[in-house]
Amino acid sequence: MPTAGTSAKSDERRREVVTAAISCFAQKGFYGTTTHEVAQSVGISQPYLYRLYPNKQALFASAIDRVSILMTEALNTYSPAPGGAGLLRNQHSTRRATPTPRSSRTRPSCAS
């Protein structure tokens, strides 16, 4: 029997849980978010969440890691290229990047 947490399916589940955790932590903060809420927003049981992450602190650390990676990628994508020409200018675009309105973003809802 494979070790718990080593399959591709559990890796995908971890990504889903971290995405939900990011949303919950953003809405309610560390102390206001429960692992039960995170599990519920992904549609798994709290005991299964604890098979994926040993505790709330480990889940929070994974969420911070994911956000750090996303921020680094965004900064690298939109930072000025050597010589002062930014990415948007290199693509010959004069329009500014338009952010997605908050209301149209899809994210797991955190139980209230």
Whole-model pTM above 0.85? no
Q: Tell me the two tokens of residue 37.
A: 């809420």
The amino acid that residue 49 corresponds to is L
Work out the end-to-end distance of the chain between its first and last CA atoms, rounded to an integer number of angstroms.
38
Q: What is the Cα–Cα distance from 29 to 102, expressed in whole angstroms?
A: 19
Give the mean model confidence (pLDDT) for residues 60-83.
88
CA atoms within 13 A on the CB side of 96: 3
- Collapsing DSSP to helix, strand or coil, 43 comes out as coil
Banded model confidence at residue 83, pLDDT cuts 50, 70, 90:
low
pLDDT > 70: percent of the chain: 68
Could you tell me which of 68, 72, 61, 70 has the C-alpha nearest to residue 17? Answer: 61
* CATH number for the domain harbouring residue 28: 1.10.10.60
Indicate whether 37 belongs to any domain.
yes
55 in Cβ contact with 48 (< 8 Å): no
Indicate whether 22 belongs to any domain.
yes
Range of the domain at 37: 8-79
pLDDT > 90: percent of the chain: 56
Indicate whether 28 belongs to any domain.
yes
Q: What is the Cα–Cα distance from 4 to 13, expressed in whole angstroms?
A: 12
Domain count, the chain: 1
